[in-house]
Structure 1
């Protein structure tokens, strides 16, 4: 097989749109061009305040690339991947061309099955610890895609991260435009994008260790801890070029799908990445090479529901066969 078909494009896009994105903006397009499937960023859906440099868009699109790769692999048409950006086409994230046919691996089958069930769970997690074997699987998932995952061990490391994250959150909320942007992507109805209020975390309390987005006004009993000791992982890449961010997006999605397959819930914290000074402080606190791209909260909890997605037809660009 030398070219992909419209059926392959539909299959890849249907999986790709299930990827996570900041505020569920879904900033991607898919198209068939010269027999290859291309994933492109949609600059119209880039957050003007929270994502001025396009980092979150590239992370989200990288995650969509990983989903598309899985969908093609389990259909028996695995892809060779060429990552962007292309100087001639700056919105191009990745180009997938038909690769050598092979059997689908058990790991690919399991991860593909997890796509439909993966979603951000912002509710408090149970105190049950994540087993060491599962933690190692998450670390290896990031490494396999060219990223890294640093799991924070002990209250000293966790408290240090929490201080950075809370400080970044306070900085962000001083900006009225930031709060307006967040509110504009929060919905009370069944919209095909954005975050439903029902998917939001309970409103923050002064004693909370980690900051939460204000997607919901749901209150809880005063003085009740949200999570006393959550498991937090810092996902990073070797650098901070657009290519590194795309790589990190693929690593992110493999970590999230691995977590879902293992029965874990997850949500993401980007506040310490959005504020440059906080991000640099986080990088220095980790004492390792590379650049943090996102923080992930992991644990066991009450199952939630995936947020809505736009129809596949809305994210397809005209094909050039």
Structure 2
């Protein structure tokens, strides 16, 4: 078989793994370009999928692209390839977020650690269902902290008082949405109801909304809002949710890409450990609320994502765009 054809088939498979990453409202704000002569995959932001009201600086967009980059790296390592990654390689091309040169150098322990995560990629789904009132063991927490640290981020498990602060911030964000309904514009754009949910290739379909929160304190965004969803029931969620805060030392585009890679690495590690996960950035979409989410004692770092972890249903898989819609191959 022609080597270039093999490369093309391999890259197509790698990108299929990459796009399984989470992104805000499942907007999938990425594009990939494969430069066959250089054996290099370029990751680009798709600003046509940006959310100008809820993500005006493209922070969440960039985090989602970082998560896709981590999946690409893990899939490549599993396929026996090494990856030379450069973040923001060309200041003159603001949409170009990363370049990944594929190689066949001797494997390292770091490659093996990435390859170990690959089976979790198709299994990881956002769960908007109740979790058990059951602690996450310390050895699992330590593994998740290590996963974040490997990508230059910090994962902290806040104490009870800090958790209550974060939950209050989520409620503040919900109240702002109620007072300013135009803030719901992005959410409505990216939710799929009725027959549209069955044929969707992006967004959050109604079958992934999960039940309405009838009781409990889980920080969940209700994607239905006041819109009716047939056969959707309410449920009691955990009263003591287990939250984790993912932070980076800085708060620029490179930090957001690192946060995305750390986020996905944590999520894949959690999936391998049998945990269900969900994400919320609701309280982080307003800069003033986001600052209050920091560790109240140390106050260091910039919180990029709030994770909810626990034992329960993993949730439904959300749709993905076909690889041919997001990958261009340049011979």
After TM superposition, the score normalised by the length of structure 1 is 0.91
Match of 1:201 among 210, 215, 229: 210
Q: How does 1:76-115 map to 2 (within 5 A)?
A: 76-84=80-88, 86-99=90-103, 100-102=105-107, 107-115=113-121
Q: CA deviation at 1:201?
A: 3.2
Question: Does the 8 A contact of 1:203 with 1:212 survive in 2?
Answer: no
Equivalent residue, structure 2, for 1:304:
315
Equivalent residue, structure 1, for 2:147:
141
CA distance in 2, matches of 1:103, 1:287: 35
Match of 1:251 among 262, 268, 277: 262
Equivalent residue, structure 1, for 2:164:
159
Structure 2 residue 249 is matched with structure 1 residue 220:
no
Which deviates more, 25-34 or 115-124? 25-34
Structure 2 residue 201 is matched with structure 1 residue 192:
yes
Q: CA deviation at 1:293?
A: 0.4
Equivalent residue, structure 2, for 1:5:
7
CA distance in 1, matches of 2:316, 2:89: 33
Question: Would the alpha carbon gap of residues 58 and 85 (structure 1) be closer, same or farther in structure 2, given more than 3 Å must change?
Answer: farther
CA distance in 1, matches of 2:11, 2:184: 37
Question: Does the 8 A contact of 1:37 with 1:95 survive in 2?
Answer: yes
Question: Size of the alignment, in residue pairs?
Answer: 314
CA distance in 2, matches of 1:110, 1:118: 14
Equivalent residue, structure 2, for 1:174:
179
CA distance in 2, matches of 1:165, 1:176: 16
Structure 2 residue 314 is matched with structure 1 residue 320:
no
Question: Does the 8 A contact of 1:266 with 1:296 survive in 2?
Answer: yes
Q: CA RMSD in A?
A: 2.1
Q: CA deviation at 1:173?
A: 3.5
Match of 2:72 among 68, 72, 94: 68
Question: Would the alpha carbon gap of residues 293 and 280 (structure 1) be closer, same or farther in structure 2, given more than 3 Å must change?
Answer: same
Equivalent residue, structure 2, for 1:131:
137
Equivalent residue, structure 2, for 1:234:
245
Q: How does 1:15-34 map to 2 (within 5 A)?
A: 15-33=17-35, 34=38
Question: Does the 8 A contact of 1:283 with 1:292 survive in 2?
Answer: yes
